[in-house]
A and B are shown apart, each in its own frame.
Chain A
């Protein structure tokens, strides 16, 4: 199960080697997410309906976020108000937070990837909910044709690229 990507070590050793830490296996909590909430976004719809085969449905979402801008991660338009951003964050939290999404605790990948997913959402929220950080980010986005991504493919750059995003919050 250990994927061996030669270009970045942080990602494979953290995301796939994590043991199932919590012994609880609560019943399907995603089922509780109310209907309007799910239909509000097609991207997360496929994710939350994933009760029977979580791994199958995770892939599309993770692929979209791998190169996504912070706006895409939060599923808000570029002109979103801070209120929009806050509610998007809470809505996604109720889908992706490991307490909710880590339904199938026997599958170590699902619980650790929901943590990964949620950390990205939180990092995006931290940047976009702070007007100053948001304007800096917007300017950087403008300058590049491609949005800033989570991982680049050069050796040292993979750390810099990776840390750049998570370091925004604090």
Chain B
């Protein structure tokens, strides 16, 4: 029983070093890292408060990119850029958080094909080919590798400043990340010599910071104080996340989560397409100018954009706020939809909302602020957090809390009761996705469902596990599959196949399958336990191959019980 715990279990790519147990000395305080699509930050509990580390240029927010030059790639932590455009020559890979763990049929990958580095897709559901331009040659890499290089630099920077080794980390991740994508983040961390204690959905990190602030303000350690209901909206360059949280006494209970890969990058690309004359290649100059214009539009009603594209091509245009909002109407509508969905899932009345918290770069966009004010019927947005630092501060708090650090003033008497961001379930009833644990279920969670066979004397059945919200399996992320064998011969519909899913407090998912026969209460064959995800790449076509091989011979349908 007391076998050594795996750090990134069932990941065979792991190094041995990663699995070795840490020394039993004083607990190391885990650092918090907010890996943003466009910028990253790293923070740590310094014994009395959260301290955000700065790089050698005194920046707390560090641009997320890695430049492949000559032999040694260099990331944004150490690398000095003379101009913004330098990042756009093709030698630098950025936006890795948008690409990690995605296959080449994913629309988000396709949207990345406009970027200056190479994103090549074959559109068959495999990982895209990504390469940086080095000495006029494309040097291939992967999002995991790029992220790992960047994380190594962050780790070295932190080790230099903290004067101790840094190993344990808490990272923030988008709500919409599938479990497969989470394993890719863990993989990148393992490559960088970091050990992940928690991957926190971004808004839940902000919820923790909010809970701490609230607790400090009221000095309420009994958990009896008035519960405060907050809507947390986080929109950065790559992702939009929403959470509804109920907080009191340092306990933050996540009521609902919603997220989508929509962010500032989409808004930027829409706007570039709108500004650029037809048949003109989007250049790095145009990208920088448009980004600057969008930033200024948060303060001004209109901006003048002047770009000399060379070859006599010049762009001179006045962009006003209304026009900008029209161009991005779809993106803003999606933000609104997420907030509405999150509120509905949380089953809260709009009138009961105490605070609306907005963070991330896109939270400065007036249109986005208005959407939140309208939907939540609030005149004011919460002012107690810094929109660009809140996530990393929350991650650093969680890092201290999960490291078991005690604060004499009670600043760390905090707890987040998490909820699942996506449903997990199995394929059954034909090609349908049957959720076993629905989304927004409190974690730790354990639920089970009964299925039965579709053929007479069916001896085997496939358990194909998916995660997502779609009704058919194709709309969801494949997590893994296994076969139950030894079902006793019986007419179809008689054997009872119990599929149980368990998510523990550290968000690990295990799937159990047991075969029962009517009248007997113990399983007739040994129960199968599988830790998910087991797929080593996000290939949806593993499922297609299973379908070609077995058809419906090993299918399941939900068991109708006569109660």
Q: How large is the interface on A (under 10, 10 to 19, 20 to 34, 35 or more residues)?
A: 35 or more
Q: Is the CB of A166 within 8 A of B221?
A: no
Residue-wise interface mask of A (48-66) relative to B, using a CB-CB cutoff of 8 A (1 in contact, 0 not) = 0000000000000000000
B195, B498, B506, B521: which has the most chain A beta carbons within 10 Å? B521
Q: Is the CB of A9 within 8 A of B444?
A: no
**Which residues of chain B have C-beta atoms less than 8 A from A21's C-beta?**
5, 9, 504, 506, 508
The reply to whether the CB of B368 lies closer than 8 angstroms to some CB of chain A is: no
Q: Is the CB of A7 within 8 A of B251?
A: no
**Which residues of chain B have C-beta atoms less than 8 A from A6's C-beta?**
521-522
Known interface pairs A166-B446, A169-B442; A87-B500 also in contact (CB < 8 Å): no
Shortest Cβ distance from B93 into chain A, in angstroms? 31
Query: Number of B interface residues, CB 8 Å?
Result: 62
Known interface pairs A118-B444, A166-B446; A94-B251 also in contact (CB < 8 Å): yes
Q: Is the CB of A7 within 8 A of B404?
A: no
Q: Is the CB of A9 within 8 A of B227?
A: no
- A34, A112, A155: which contacts B221 (Cβ < 8 A)? A34
Q: How far is A14 from B249 in the complex, measured between Cα atoms in Å?
A: 32
Q: Is the CB of B2 within 8 A of A27?
A: no
The reply to whether the CB of A149 lies closer than 8 angstroms to some CB of chain B is: no
Q: How far is A19 from B10 in the complex, measured between Cα atoms in Å?
A: 13
**Which residues of chain A have C-beta atoms less than 8 A from B249's C-beta?**
87, 90-91, 94
- Which A-chain residue is minimally distant from B498 (CB atoms)? A10
The reply to whether the CB of A135 lies closer than 8 angstroms to some CB of chain B is: no
Q: Is the CB of B195 within 8 A of A99?
A: no
The reply to whether the CB of B70 lies closer than 8 angstroms to some CB of chain A is: no
Q: How far is A19 from B529 in the complex, measured between Cα atoms in Å?
A: 11
Q: Is the CB of B444 within 8 A of A98?
A: yes
Shortest Cβ distance from B563 into chain A, in angstroms? 8
Residue-wise interface mask of A (87-126) relative to B, using a CB-CB cutoff of 8 A (1 in contact, 0 not) = 1001101100111101101111001100100110010000
- A14, A106, A107: which contacts B502 (Cβ < 8 A)? A14
- A24, A86, A122: which contacts B402 (Cβ < 8 A)? A24
Q: Is the CB of B413 within 8 A of A94?
A: yes
The reply to whether the CB of A8 lies closer than 8 angstroms to some CB of chain B is: yes
The reply to whether the CB of B112 lies closer than 8 angstroms to some CB of chain A is: no
Q: Enumerate B180-234 residues with CB–CB distance to A below 8 Å.
A: 195, 197, 221-224, 227
Q: Can you list 21 A-B contacts (CB < 8 A)?
A: A9-B516, A9-B527, A14-B500, A19-B3, A20-B5, A23-B6, A24-B403, A25-B404, A26-B27, A27-B27, A34-B410, A90-B223, A90-B251, A91-B223, A94-B223, A97-B417, A97-B505, A106-B2, A108-B1, A111-B505, A170-B441
